[in-house]
A and B are shown apart, each in its own frame.
Chain A
Amino acid sequence: MKETPLSNCERDFLLRAIEEKKRLDGRQTYDYRKLKITFGTDYGCCFVDLGQTRVMAQVSCELVAPKENRPTEGILFFNIELSPMASPSFEQGRQSELSVKLNRQLERCLRNSKCIDTESLCVVSGEKVWQVRVDVHTLNNDGNLMDAASVAAITALCHFRRPDVAIQGEEVTVFSPEERDPIPLSVYHMPISVSFAFFQQGTFLLVDPCEREERVMDGLLMIAMNKHREICSIQSSGGIMLLKDQVMRCSKIASVKVSEITELISQALLNDKAARKAGGKCGFAESMPQDRITALKMDQTDVEMTNVSQTGSGVILQGDEAPPPTVPSPVVPVPGVGQVGQGLQSWGLEEEEEDDDDEEEESSGDDQVEEVTQIKLSEKDKKEAVVEISDSEEEEVEVDKLN
């Protein structure tokens, strides 16, 4: 689907507002939107909300053969999916320019910076290594997908636990999570990307652009840094000419932002750990905020239910009534011989028995109380025809009669 076109008056208004240092949602030039990190029930599942932009990262691992030129290192695989859920202009399956750009940036930010120790992912050198796969799904696009995706990816990697492995000589045992606690990945540092949007040929800059600001910007500068002030990657797109001191200024701003965000991530990881230890509820459903549209809100809304209960009871009444169950009781015609049922004695009784058996099969799910009453009734009916011995109190009398 095509995106809603940007009208001229919106563009003019946004540019004028930026010149007056005003942003649409009232933020300052260097302010980030509210960043919220929540975790799912599995290890390695992480949701990140950056204002209205929402992404989800999921980490998984499996044992594979290593690359031939790197037999002792594990493999890291990154994938960002732009789903049509995020924006009507994203098409499922098609590799758009934005998707290629985001994937490339995430790979450079996380893989080339060597933030994960891949040597520790090796199980049997040259044969079996762990392949860790990070899938980032975009759920809602309100600008600055790159930052949200990088935070989600690194948080999910820190949250993830891989199965424990034991090697004894030639034997390799992979323990399931129930047998042995899974162990976390070894993360050296956390690279976070910070995006700067430039307007009016580099005169004005904004941190963390929202979707409308992204549509009117001239160019984007993305700096990935960790809290030790090491730059992991810098990328400038849009063809704007930046001066050296502009880039230096951006990197200083980025270092401040990155330390704040890293603090937030560590806090979120600690909270989640405490919640899991305490056995409390954790996961996506718990962390979902309840956004309700209250336009038609009433404190108590009546929904007509009397018809529903009437039709419901009508349906139940119309159903066929279950036939009563009957069970033939055991009989001792001659001492030392037991008989259940009538066998081939007489035609009339045989038919009765068949009916009884059929009824028995149909009514196997009925209440015990009904069964008991029905059995007692059938006993009384058959008393005249056959002398019965059962577990009732009249046993003694009947035995005497036989003898």
Chain B
Amino acid sequence: MMASTLFRTIQIHPFLLYPTTLFRRRNGALYCTMKSTQTQTATQEKQQPSKVKVSQHTQSKTLDKIKRDYEAVIGIETHVQLSTLTKAFCSCPYNYGSQPNTSICPICMGLPGALPVLNSKVIEFAVKLGLALNCKLSLNSKFDRKQYFYPDLPKGYQISQFDIPIATGGYIDLDLPLEFGGGHRKFGITRVHMEEDAGKLLHSGNEDYSQVDLNRAGVPLLEIVSEPDMRTGIEAAEYAAELQRVVRYLGISNGNMQEGSLRCDVNVSIRPVGQLEFGTKVEIKNLNSFSSINRAIDFEISRQVLFHSQGQSDQIVQETRLWEEGAQKTVTMRKKEGLSDYRYFPEPDLPEVILSQVFVDSIHNSLPELPEMKRRRYEKMGLSMQDVLFLANDMNILFELLAKGGTVKGLIEEKDLVQIADPIEIGKMVDKVLSENPKQLGQYRGGKTKLQGFFAGQVMKLSKGKANPGLLNKILLEKLNAES
């Protein structure tokens, strides 16, 4: 069922921006460089020693074998942008896509003399999520200042929660999609805390300057940190998808990865099967869809396993890597020099957050039936797992079904929702798109591999969103890389 979720959420952007790559972190400070790190990456690629040519097929077969000796340990940090009417600490509204700096005030701009005042909805939403994730709520928590310098952070600190988050020690139940083997999973949630978002940086085309848009500064976020319980890319992707369902069910967020109202950073490490000690952890950013999460993790696991298998496990360093959608790989962004010192201290401008049990109970009583509850209920009703997942995991279908009646299968066919998974049919669509875009094809073959995303998007459009994404990309890559 994740596939159907995937097709609803993938909107492939032809030109992905990597804003943060322009600011390299060195010696704990961030600064703007004249050269783009993308160029550097390309240079690095060219400078890599040529590898022994082994057929891809053989390579992946061997790798699969080796992989079985290792276990991947994956944890995810998710930021959920809350859909409150106004920002966390001021009365500015937030609308994605507004003209830059049109939704700002002295408070979210960090002007001298301005002070934050907490939007009480933020607490309500945080408690809702904490309860939905089966967490223990801290009835007494507080805000802290997380301090660092960056142009999108107007005050020079972010109001967040450090040592006493509003919720801790929870878990989430989900079912893996049937096409990936199905199965029930339970993943731990370490903590949920409240914080404010930073603004956005827009980089000029020729990278001479950058501009600051503070519309997003001060928008409330909930940060969800998972236990490192996932073991595969699919598990991680489904975890993210389930979080999306939960926040949408609760009505606290759009949970939209493309708009940035749901953001995931994953941490991946591997260890030999049986070893208790964790391996070196690598953080991956720039994941804009569930399928990217899946593919990035799979790639990263392979990358790390390869090093291990060649006796070069010390080549795996603790760092942040970026997922490149076009090239379908992770690349170095910056090396983590230990933990940054954010000089946390309690936010003196805001009073302690005190929750009464009455308040918590009233929120508990107002929670809707969450996806997990629904799934278990449908299962008990005797529905097939496929129908269970389809129904419970897609709210729109559900609402329509309730309104109109009829069977699930009938509705699927009626809505022409059946996914296209026939490689020949997809192949035809890819051919069509490639022939209709000769200029871009030429550019791609000339080295602009980023354009894969563009083509994928065009095929998706052509298929009215029904093409199986995994298959699409596989076929697309084959055809793109074939000699014309």
Q: Do A and B come from one complex?
A: no
Chain B contacts to A: CB under 8 angstroms: none
